[in-house]
A and B are shown apart, each in its own frame.
Chain A
Amino acid sequence: MGLPLQAHDVVLISGGPALRSFEKFKKASHDKYWGNFIDSALTRAAELKKEQPREDQIVWLVFRPSYTSRSSEDQQDYLKIIEERGAMVGLTPIYFDNKDQLFTLLRRDGSRDKPKISRLEYFGHSNKKCWMFDYSNRVDGGALEPLVVHVDDLEKISGSSFTPKAECVSYGCHSGEEFSQRWRMVVGRPMVGAVGKTDYSDGGMPKLSNGKEGSWVY
């Protein structure tokens, strides 16, 4: 009788949507649909459930403040909808309100309570320098410092929180142009990211935008 396999966590992170009051009149208008980063993460969760070892657990982290403010704007209870959609694939969202809370949630020691991370995937707004959880939500066209994971913040994420063969993916725009490389250097695990923009408008998993010579890179 062998020892039970060590369980790991698969972490999916959903950033928040922009407010339409900021975006409505722009040429490149973001987030007409509020749930791009929710639906894509849940689509991926359903895929991963078929692939991953049974003992591993999917942990779904959702940036709450942007959904709260978008709820006020659209007069819909999006947090309730998020929880209902999560339940359809057997997931309960774990909310975080700023990047410090995210860093705490990512701090793992391999114990039963804090298993190491075997996979991490991000769905949300980004550019080559950072993940922007609240893009165009509290300020027009930008994101507030406590709600941005900038490349200079990556030293707050320890590589020892991940398994040696952990895989990471950022499905945000332009992550493959610098963020991925800095992640690999600082966190010590490879991260796939996009060169160019990513497009969530067709629903499900994001894809590289048409018309640009984009690619997925490490």
Chain B
Amino acid sequence: MGLLIPIVLVLISPSLGWAPPLPLRTSPTTSQTETPPPASEEEPITATDEEIRKPLEEKVARATLPAAHTPAKHGETDGESWVAQRTMVEDYCGWGWIKKEKESWRQARWIALEGTREVCPLPHTYLPRPEDDKNYQYRFYGSFAPYRAYEPQADVWVDVFILKGFMSLGPAKEEIRRSPPAQASSGVNRFAERGANVR
């Protein structure tokens, strides 16, 4: 009986799923490395083309850690101030709403925000992504620019606030559900019934 067990095992072994036998040396074999790569029919890129079109590596300095956060205070934080709430509208130029301390949010103005180099960058540049401070409030120091910004999707002019400093006020109690301005940037074409400007 003791001799029968190894004999039975040898007989049933092919059905146990062992690895198939290795091919014979004479079997035809293919090797990836031996196959030459197909010749490209496209013209080779010249060194000049390569140089001109080569995109540069992104070098935008922006916080990447999840723990990154906007500083509590930055830039010049003295003088007149405004309360501002970051609001993002899809495909619409601008930063959010801004108002004086005693005004209601219904009186707030929609602004495009312009930073001042080496004095105060925009608050969201400290965050991994621009939308990471959505619905956060700030106290802004600076002034309204004498010029406006053009919003190309909605074809409107919006106010520009030049930021000199800010203080973080934390998350807002609620989102501002108000549409930004939407009036057309230009009136009736007064040249439609006039001759060309040839003078």
B-binding segment of A1-9, A50-58, A113-121, A153-161: A153-161
**Minimal Cβ-Cβ distance residue in A for B131:** A25
Find out whether the CB atom of A151 lies under 8 angstroms from the CB atom of B93.
no
A129 partner residues in chain B, CB cutoff 8 A: 150, 152, 155, 185-186
Contact B60 A21 (CB under 8 A): yes
| Across-interface contacts of B58 in A (CB, < 8 A) | 20, 24
Contacts of A185 in B (CB 8 A): 189, 191-192, 196
The reply to whether B185 and A33 contact each other, CB–CB distance below 8 Å, is no
CB B20 to nearest CB in A, in angstroms, measures 50
Q: For residue B7, give the distance in angstroms from its CB to the closest CB of chain A.
A: 71
**Contact in complex: B53, A203 (CB < 8 Å):** yes
Complex CA gap A24/B61 in Å reads: 11
Q: Does residue B178 face the partner (Cβ distance < 8 Å to A)? A: no
Shortest beta-carbon distance from B52 to chain A in Å: 6
Cross-chain contact A139 with B112 (CB below 8 angstroms): yes
Q: Once bound together, how far apart are the Cα atoms of A32 and B58, in whole Å?
A: 8
Cβ proximity bits A42-74 to B, threshold 8 Å, 1 near / 0 not: 000000000000000000000000000000011
Dominant SS at the A interface?
mixed
Contact at B198–A188, with CB atoms within 8 Å? Answer: yes
A181 to chain B minimum Cβ distance, whole angstroms, is 9
Q: Which residues of A contact B167 (CB under 8 A)?
A: none
Pair A141/B151 contact, Cβ less than 8 Å: yes
- How many residues on chain B are close to A (CB under 8 Å)? 45
Q: Hey, which chain B residues are within 8 Å of A186, CB to CB?
A: 191, 196-197
Residues of B within 8 A of A127 (CB): 152, 155
CB contacts (< 8 Å) of B189 on chain A: these are 151, 182, 185
A87 within 8 A of B: no
Which A residues lie within 8 Å of B195 (CB)?
A: 188
- Interface flag for B56 (CB, 8 Å): yes
Cross-chain contact A182 with B191 (CB below 8 angstroms): yes
Tell me whether B55 and A33 are in contact (CB under 8 A).
yes
A72 to B, closest residue via Cβ: B117
Given known A144-B147, A154-B197, A158-B197, contact A25–B129 (CB-CB < 8 A): yes
Instruction: Name the A residues within 8 Å of B95 (CB-CB).
Output: 140
**CB within 8 Å of A: which residues of B?**
49, 52-53, 55-56, 58-62, 91-95, 112-114, 122, 125, 129-131, 145, 147-153, 155, 157-158, 160, 185-186, 189, 191-192, 195-199
19 contacts between A and B (CB under 8 A): A32-B55, A33-B53, A34-B56, A85-B52, A130-B185, A132-B152, A140-B93, A140-B130, A141-B91, A141-B92, A141-B94, A144-B114, A144-B150, A145-B150, A158-B199, A159-B196, A186-B191, A188-B196, A203-B52
